[in-house]
Every structure is written in structure tokens, then in C-alpha cells.
Structure 1
Amino acid sequence: MANHKSALKRAIQSEQRRQRNKAVQTRVKNVVKDVNLSVAENADDAGQRFNVAKSVIDKASKKGVLHKRTAARKISRLAKKVNAL
């Protein structure tokens, strides 16, 4: 464990940041799964779910949880699936 006050503070901040990033990453995975399921079921709301997913992925990229190219790739792949319907 950290011995200095500043190192202790950094450890606490890192843990908080890790938990926040984990929550954002989980949200991204869930919305991607929702879009994929709605595409598989040929649901009418696939477009709506895609828009929500796109927004969530863009926000994750903006926060630095996802790299911008990773976010673009995820959005592109989802768009391809939705447009194929």
C-alpha cells in the first residue's frame, strides 16, 4: 500500500477512475448487445437502439474510455448490420 500522502491519494483516485471506466465500458457492451439482438430478431426498433448505442459509444470515446478509432469501428459495424435489414 502507499506510504506517502500523495501516493495514497493517487491510489484512491485511480480506483475511482477504474470503477467509473468499468461502468461506462459495461454500458457500451450492453447497448451493443441490444442492437445485435434487435437485428437478429428483425425488430422495428433496431434503428432507435442503434442511435442510442451510437450516442453511448461516442460519449465513451469522448471520456477516453474507448479509443476514437475503436469507437468508430464499433459504430460502423453496428450501422452495417442495421442497414442490412
Structure 2
Amino acid sequence: MANSPQAKKRARQNEARFAVNKARRSRIRTYLRKVEEAIASGDQTAAAAALKETQPELMRGVTKGVFHKNTAARKMSRLSSRVKAMGA
């Protein structure tokens, strides 16, 4: 248990940070799910549009420290290749 004032403040800050990061992660997952659903429906234009919306959100997550840069790049790469394969 936090006893010193600075440890108590740290605990409060960690809780606030956790809540913000959790909301960000959830928001990004929602965007990723929209792309997945568009791919599953077989609509390439909808999938491409959803992917275009997802990319900045994913990169914002990297900037804010929610995701690692390579993780975001990998997710974007895999999704974009799946969307591209739909056209073929």
C-alpha cells in the first residue's frame, strides 16, 4: 500500500493513465473490428475505407504509447494485404 504522499500521487496518476489507455485501446480495437467485418462481408470498397480510417487511429496509439510501433505496422500490413487480396 502506498504510504508516502508521492507514492499516493503516483497511484492516482497510474489509475488515471490506465483508464485513458484502456479507452484508447478499446477505440482502436473497434476500428480494427470494423475492417475485419468489412473484409468478412466481402465489400472491398468498404474495407478499404475502414482501413483508411483505422490507420491514423492505430498510429496515434503508437504515439501515445498504447501499442509498439512494430505491432501497429504489422497489423496495418496484414490488414492491407487482406483488403488488397479481395480485389484479386
TM-score (norm: length of structure 1) = 0.94
Matched position secondary structure for 1:45: helix
For residues 17-74 of structure 1, give each alpha carbon's deviation from its aligned partner in whole angstroms, at most 9, with x where no partner exists: 1111111111111111110110111223111100111111000011111000001001
Give the share of equivalent positions with the same residue, in percent: 38
What's 1:67 paired with? 68
5+ long unaligned stretches in structure 1:
none
Aligned length: 85
Higher helix residue share: 2
Query: Stretches of 4+ moved more than 2 A in 1?
Result: none
Q: CA-atom RMSD, angstroms?
A: 0.9
5+ long unaligned stretches in structure 2:
none
Distance 1:82 1:27 in 2: 21
TM-score (norm: length of structure 2) = 0.91
